[in-house]
């Protein structure tokens, strides 16, 4: 199936929304949509129309039409299934299916359409996944907003204290005026003292924005505390020992090794780029890959209007089949030809003081050779339960995995598991044996955990893995940022965050 475009139009043929998924010029798509109402035959019971070049698949939706324009070689059954999904998406964003609601929610609908179709082909998504993808929840934004509210609250408290202090000074000044001058010139003294407080009360007002605009430097300081060597691991080990847990270390990895922080401090750079990736993996215990997917997003944050008219040069050195999609306002052709991320409309600046997702990508594979980390679990039945041998193997030695936590379900009945060997540290609590390795890289690409516990071989599944990285899994990186239409480079800062949303062996 090759889907050329999706549109919402009125019964009279007025186009409310149109999204093209392949390269088409404006005149052609306008011609195709303007011809659609003229081709509808009311006395026939079907919802598709074929012309010499394309096929229209449509569905009435109250007073509107949802129209898909496909090639004639596409599968009509897949076209109808896709049409039904489009028709289900629209009511999720429009309370009433009319021209006004569609016009008010046009961008939300376009974003949802982009999740259904990529480069003309249907994505394997359902309605719930589309809603999740389009929410684009940002942890950094939540942190920033929380810090901002705290600073605003502190500023208001400070202003209240200043107001009370000024009121107290005013009362003292009035009292002193009555004592010095007596009742004969009380009116004169009161008029004189009334000028002084009114002038003074205006002075602290400019102080209000000062604490509001300073959350970022304070947040940076907190972020630096997270980077202390071994702080996270030492705290983790100490808490385990206080609870009576047994922790063993080997010579391979010590708990005092430096660990990268999970959180990155909010940048104060006028132009900041954030690269995020989430890994979703489900592997069968025999080694077959049920799902391996990496979802990436490049966000731009500009704090100065002088830097709003820029272009981002992105290098894609990855030889794997990665699906890359640009924001609707980004010039897709410029990116495909030269890797430049810039506004489609010449001279239009990027939004200021907000996170803008300009580029997203997805990599899917069913080959275990593409996995960053292989987990082998070998439970062997014994008279008293099972002897379990778990091994991890880093496949790509250029990767660095931080804060690796491998969780194996273990029955709490029959006592704690007996650990014979552990490359790293471990603890047992809440029905799980958690194996912690601060860093896995080329110098520590293999590790083993051996233990004995009560249970059957199936009871030690699923094995859940969590880790993070500070370099992207997909080989996309920002090469430089330049002023739009020139070669003048612009200073910028970048950060990268790769986390596991799900990494499971079942």
DSSP 452-487: EESS-GGGG--EEEEEEESS-SS-EEEEEEEETTS-
Query: What confidence score (pLDDT) does residue 105 get?
Result: 85
Query: What confidence score (pLDDT) does residue 414 get?
Result: 65
Q: Backbone dihedral region of 71: left (phi > 0), alpha (psi from -120 to 50 degrees) or beta?
A: beta
Residue reference for tokens 């898909």: 68
Q: Which residue intervals of 213-324 are DSSP H helices?
A: 215-225, 231-242
Separation CA 170–CA 200 (nearest Å): 10
Q: Backbone dihedral region of 485: left (phi > 0), alpha (psi from -120 to 50 degrees) or beta?
A: left
Separation CA 4–CA 25 (nearest Å): 12
462, burial (CB in 10 Å: exposed 0-12, middle 13-18, buried 19+): middle
Query: What confidence score (pLDDT) does residue 134 get?
Result: 74
pLDDT average per 10 residues of sequence, the chain (506 residues): 84 85 84 84 75 87 87 85 87 83 86 85 82 72 83 89 87 69 39 38 37 40 41 49 47 42 58 93 89 93 88 89 89 88 88 89 90 91 87 91 92 78 86 91 91 87 93 91 89 92 92
Q: Which residue intervals of 105-257 are DSSP H helices?
A: 106-116, 127-135, 139-181, 186-201, 209-212, 215-225, 231-242
Query: What confidence score (pLDDT) does residue 138 get?
Result: 66
Of 13, 14, 17, give the one whose Cα is nearest residue 5: 17
Separation CA 143–CA 146 (nearest Å): 5
Helix (H) and strand (E) counts for the chain? 11, 23
Residue reference for tokens 């974003």: 111
Question: Strand 385-394 to strand 401-409: parallel, antiparallel, or no bridges (unpaired)?
Answer: unpaired
Separation CA 14–CA 103 (nearest Å): 12
Tokens of 321: 């089949």
For 447, list phi and psi in degrees, rounded to 5.
-155, 155
pTM flag (> 0.85): no
Query: What confidence score (pLDDT) does residue 336 get?
Result: 87
Separation CA 33–CA 38 (nearest Å): 10
Query: What confidence score (pLDDT) does residue 178 get?
Result: 54
Provide the β-strand partners of residue 323: 362
Query: What confidence score (pLDDT) does residue 502 get?
Result: 92
């Amino acid at each position: 199936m090759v889907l050329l475009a999706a549109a919402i139009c009125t019964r009279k043929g007025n186009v409310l929304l149109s999204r093209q998924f392949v390269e088409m010029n404006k005149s052609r798509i306008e011609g195709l949509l303007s011809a659609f109402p003229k081709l509808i035959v009311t006395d026939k019971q079907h919802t598709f129309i074929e012309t010499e070049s394309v096929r229209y698949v449509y569905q009435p939706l109250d007073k509107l039409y949802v129209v898909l324009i496909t090639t004639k070689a596409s599968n009509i059954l897949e076209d109808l299934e896709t049409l039904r999904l489009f028709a289900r998406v629209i009511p999720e964003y429009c309370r009433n299916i009319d021209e006004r609601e569609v016009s008010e929610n046009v961008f939300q609908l376009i974003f949802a359409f982009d999740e259904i179709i990529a480069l003309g082909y249907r994505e394997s998504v359902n309605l719930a996944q589309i809603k999740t993808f389009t929410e684009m929840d940002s942890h950094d934004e939540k942190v920033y907003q929380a810090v901002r509210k705290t600073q605003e609250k502190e500023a208001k408290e400070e202003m209240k204290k200043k107001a009370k202090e000024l009121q107290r000074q005013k009362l003292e000044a009035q009292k002193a005026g009555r004592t010095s001058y007596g009742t004969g010139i009380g009116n004169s003294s009161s008029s004189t003292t009334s000028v002084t407080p009114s002038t003074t009360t205006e002075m602290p007002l400019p102080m209000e924005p000062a604490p509001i605009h300073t959350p970022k430097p304070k947040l940076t300081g907190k972020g630096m505390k997270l980077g202390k060597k071994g702080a996270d691991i030492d705290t983790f080990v100490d808490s385990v020992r206080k609870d009576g847990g047994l922790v063993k270390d080997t010579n391979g990895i010590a708990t005092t090794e430096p660990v990268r922080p999970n959180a990155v401090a909010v940048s104060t750079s006028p132009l900041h780029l954030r690269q995020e990736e989430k890994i979703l993996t489900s592997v069968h215990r025999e080694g077959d890959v049920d799902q391996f997917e990496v979802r990436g997003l490049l966000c731009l944050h500009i704090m100065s209007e002088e830097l709003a008219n820029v272009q981002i040069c992105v290098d894609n050195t990855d030889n794997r089949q990665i699906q890359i999609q640009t924001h609707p306002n980004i010039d897709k052709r410029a990116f495909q030809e030269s890797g430049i991320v810039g506004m489609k409309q010449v001279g239009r600046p990027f939004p200021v003081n907000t996170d803008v997702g300009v580029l997203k990508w997805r990599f899917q594979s069913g080959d275990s050779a593409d996995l960053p980390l292989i987990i082998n679990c070998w439970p062997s039945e014994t008279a008293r339960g099972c002897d379990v041998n778990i091994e991890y193997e880093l496949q790509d030695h250029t990767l660095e995995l931080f804060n690796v936590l491998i969780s194996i379900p273990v029955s709490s009945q029959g006592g704690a598991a007996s650990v014979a060997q552990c490359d790293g540290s471990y603890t047992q609590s809440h029905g799980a044996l958690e194996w912690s390795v601060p860093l896995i890289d080329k110098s520590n690409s293999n590790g083993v955990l051996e233990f004995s516990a009560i249970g059957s071989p199936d009871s030690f599944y699923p094995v859940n893995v969590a880790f993070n990285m500070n370099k992207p899994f997909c080989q996309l990186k920002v090469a430089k940022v330049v002023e739009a239409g020139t070669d003048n480079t612009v200073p910028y800062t970048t950060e990268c965050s790769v986390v596991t949303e799900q990494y499971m062996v079942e």
